[in-house]
Structure 1
Amino acid sequence: MRITRIETFLVAPRWLFCRVETDEGLVGWGEPVLEGRALTVRTAVEELAPLLIGRDPLRVEDLWQVMTKSTFYRGGGILSSAVAGIDQALWDIAGKARGVPVHELFGGPVRDRVRFYSWVGGDEPAEIADRVAAQVEAGATAVKMNAIGRKRAVASNAELDAVIARAAEARSVLGPERDFALDFHGRMSIIDCRRLFPWLAPLSPLFVEEPLVPELGHLLPQLAEHGVPIATGERLFGRHEFLPAFTAGISVAQPDISHAGGISEVRRIASMADVWGVQIAPHCPLGPIALASSLQVGFSTHNFLVQEVSAGIHYNAGADLLDYLVDTSVFRTEDGHIPRLTGPGLGIEIDEGAVRAADARGFTWTPPVWRDDDGAHAEW
């Protein structure tokens, strides 16, 4: 079997899909995208394609090594996202060629279902209680929300009080048996976090996500002592970048399977995390291929905590998680969990006609630019 063609598709709301075709008729799908840089990643996939055409798609590890190490300059979000999507597609082919789901190729399942969490917003907290209650009514046992919206460089007392009020409101709706996570999106300063964490601890968040931007990861040890689980990793693109976070004392690693080198590398990151007693909770505010790929890791990885699911997330304007699937029941939920996918490959069937039609329409999505009250750039 040989790879004969690699195509990419820009699909709303902000996703990039890739299709890897073989001379035996097997097709694999992947999701190589870096939000806001889809066109750039598309070019990177096109540049990688000549390394793959004519090669055996079942030599997944060898192809991963060639893609990541065939040039003198390596790494970075663009290249690792391009590799990630192709890697997903290769594993999809590998499973289909053998008639088994991808997790069967990793030693079989270690669990029968994966717990998930849903997004409930939080930039503007006016309706946070209603949104949490709606997710509970829909069967979710965990939610995540932004801890704070646009803020000044060092938070005011009022801004910090608002974070605690959001968290307390979520806890009051969820009760002690369900969980919430707070996403700081790297918007906090180290002094903000040191002031805030002692107040958050009694509310028992499942984790706080990206309290600091990745380039300030060397400061994370100052926060680990407060008893609030720290999660990070959506902007780390390989196992070597995760090592400092592990040594800093994080509790939860959040590699993104469409950014951090795909299924192959995320499994390696999970193995490293296990050495440090760290759980993984893959970041996934993306589409159905990224979710299916993340779930295949979750079904076969013991130190797996919870899976992010993007259905209904505010980014999904014009298309949502299930819109490009032939059979949407593969992502059915039961008691806050997604049952094990049993179909071959990634376990999903992409509606190729819908994907091609979406690509013909295209989309435009760029991250917003925020500014402080004084006009200086603020972290989004």
Structure 2
Amino acid sequence: MKITKIETFIAGNPWKNWLFVKVHTDEGIHGIGEGTLNGFAKTVEAAIHELSHVVIGMDPFDVEVMSLRLFRDVFSDGGQIQGSALAAIETACWDIMGKVTGQPLYKLLGGKCHDKLRIYANGWYRGPRTPESFAEKAKIVKEKGYTALKFDPFGDAWRTVEPKDFHLAIEIIKAVREAVGDDTDLLIEGHNRFSVHTALQFAEKMVPYRPTWFEAPVPPQRISAMVEVAKRSPVPIACGEDYYCREQFMELLKHDAVHIIQLEPQFLGISASKQVAGMVHAANGVIAPHSAQGPICSIVCAHLNMATPNFFLHEIFDEFNEPWEKEILTNPMHIDNGYIVPPDSPGLGTDLNIEEILKHPYQPGNWLPLFRQGWEKRQTNK
């Protein structure tokens, strides 16, 4: 079997353009993948086509050497853009492997480690940045069956915050805790916002509301800063979504400071993601993969999580996206009272509805500007 052609499609979700691929073979079997990257849909699309010559003619089963050729052999560090292109193509190859063998992806990755996957809601707090709005929406999410909620209460903060804004963020956390009670995990999203000292000040003040983790409190480039926060914070630190190669995770894990690792299969590819999950397992850590892209990303994470013994929580944006999202896949993921299971059909267990995708074209303003006031409303930003 040989790869013969790669097609790309962009669905213009208002808050983030989603990029999908379709990899064709000479035996008439195709696979699908996703390469979504906030603000760079067209750029990653170009990277996929520019790199397609590397994989056309290869056997889609040879994902390890394919990843080496797409990452090592190019001899350039294209970062998340290169990682997104690699992951999109490699995911489609895993989908093909599942179809050829008649097995769901999680079976190819090691088999079923869990009966179901506990999920946490993200994207649910769209609206004004007030304690009242967050509390009202949190109650609705809990009524849907979710036992864990993630949110960013910090507005457009960057490095430092004024006292009034600091107090508002803590009041939002308090309001959500009071709204959902003590039996719900609260996951506080930092979006790489703060200096070390500001992050630690926030960590101290949020302790009474018992957050399960404080995510990405400082920028990811200086691992030493993340380690310093993790070792001094009274709240567990989670991070990892920004990293795009195994070596970055090795550097993070060697400090034995962060034990909740949010690897991003969209940047690593499935093969490397499985290997990173094993590294985390050896370090007595757990994984909670980043799954805040499009719907294929969510399904990929579900398969990975099902086959990973040290899985912790699965991120869900799907229920809080545009209603038409459910129409762009032939078999969208089903949420059942706070849990999911990946599809049991061969490969990813779903396919692209190209006709529906074409109804929602790419728009330059479809991105999430996390340092612009009012970004929480998730409106188009032209």
Q: TM-score, normalised by structure 1?
A: 0.90
Q: Hey, what does 1:284 align to over in structure 2?
A: 291
Q: Hey, what does 2:362 align to over in structure 1?
A: 362
Q: Deviations over 1:308-361 (max 9, x none)?
A: 111254xx45x6542312233xx2222311024211101223223223444xx3
Distance change >3 Å, CA 124–CA 34, structure 1 → 2: same
Q: Hey, what does 1:323 align to over in structure 2?
A: 327
Distance change >3 Å, CA 92–CA 367, structure 1 → 2: same
SS in 2 for 1:213: coil
Q: Hey, what does 1:86 align to over in structure 2?
A: 89
Q: Hey, what does 1:272 align to over in structure 2?
A: 279
Q: Hey, what does 1:40 align to over in structure 2?
A: 43
Q: Hey, what does 2:353 align to over in structure 1?
A: 351
Q: 2:129 aligns with which of 124, 127, 134?
A: 124
1:214 aligns with 2:220: yes
Distance change >3 Å, CA 357–CA 135, structure 1 → 2: same
Q: Hey, what does 2:71 align to over in structure 1?
A: 68
Assess if the C-alpha contact under 8 Å between 1:112 and 1:340 holds in 2: no
Q: Hey, what does 2:6 align to over in structure 1?
A: 6
Mapped partners of 1:251, 1:269: distance in 2: 13
Mapped partners of 2:86, 2:158: distance in 1: 37
Mapped partners of 1:226, 1:185: distance in 2: 17
**Greater shift in the superposed pair: 295-304 or 175-184:** 175-184
SS in 2 for 1:82: helix
Q: TM-score, normalised by structure 2?
A: 0.90
Q: 2:244 aligns with which of 218, 227, 237?
A: 237
Superposed displacement of residue 263, structure 1:
1.0
In the alignment of these two chains, the number of paired residues is: 364
Mapped partners of 2:331, 2:304: distance in 1: 21
Residues 114-263 of structure 1: matches in 2 within 5 Å?
A: 114-119=117-122, 120-121=124-125, 124-125=129-130, 126-151=132-157, 153-224=159-230, 225-248=232-255, 249-259=257-267, 261-263=268-270
- 5+ residue gaps, structure 1, are 373-380
Mapped partners of 2:372, 2:164: distance in 1: 18
Mapped partners of 1:4, 1:351: distance in 2: 21
Assess if the C-alpha contact under 8 Å between 1:81 and 1:258 holds in 2: yes
Superposed displacement of residue 73, structure 1:
1.6
Superposed displacement of residue 107, structure 1:
2.3
SS in 2 for 1:19: strand
Q: 1:297 aligns with which of 304, 314, 318?
A: 304
Superposed displacement of residue 63, structure 1:
1.2
Q: Hey, what does 1:376 align to over in structure 2?
A: none
Distance change >3 Å, CA 347–CA 69, structure 1 → 2: same
Q: CA RMSD in A?
A: 2.0
Distance change >3 Å, CA 86–CA 353, structure 1 → 2: same
For 2:354, the aligned partner's letter is: E
Distance change >3 Å, CA 321–CA 117, structure 1 → 2: farther
Superposed displacement of residue 274, structure 1:
1.3
Superposed displacement of residue 152, structure 1:
5.8
Q: Hey, what does 2:336 align to over in structure 1?
A: 334
Distance change >3 Å, CA 357–CA 50, structure 1 → 2: farther
**Greater shift in the superposed pair: 180-189 or 243-252:** 243-252
For 1:253, the aligned partner's letter is: I
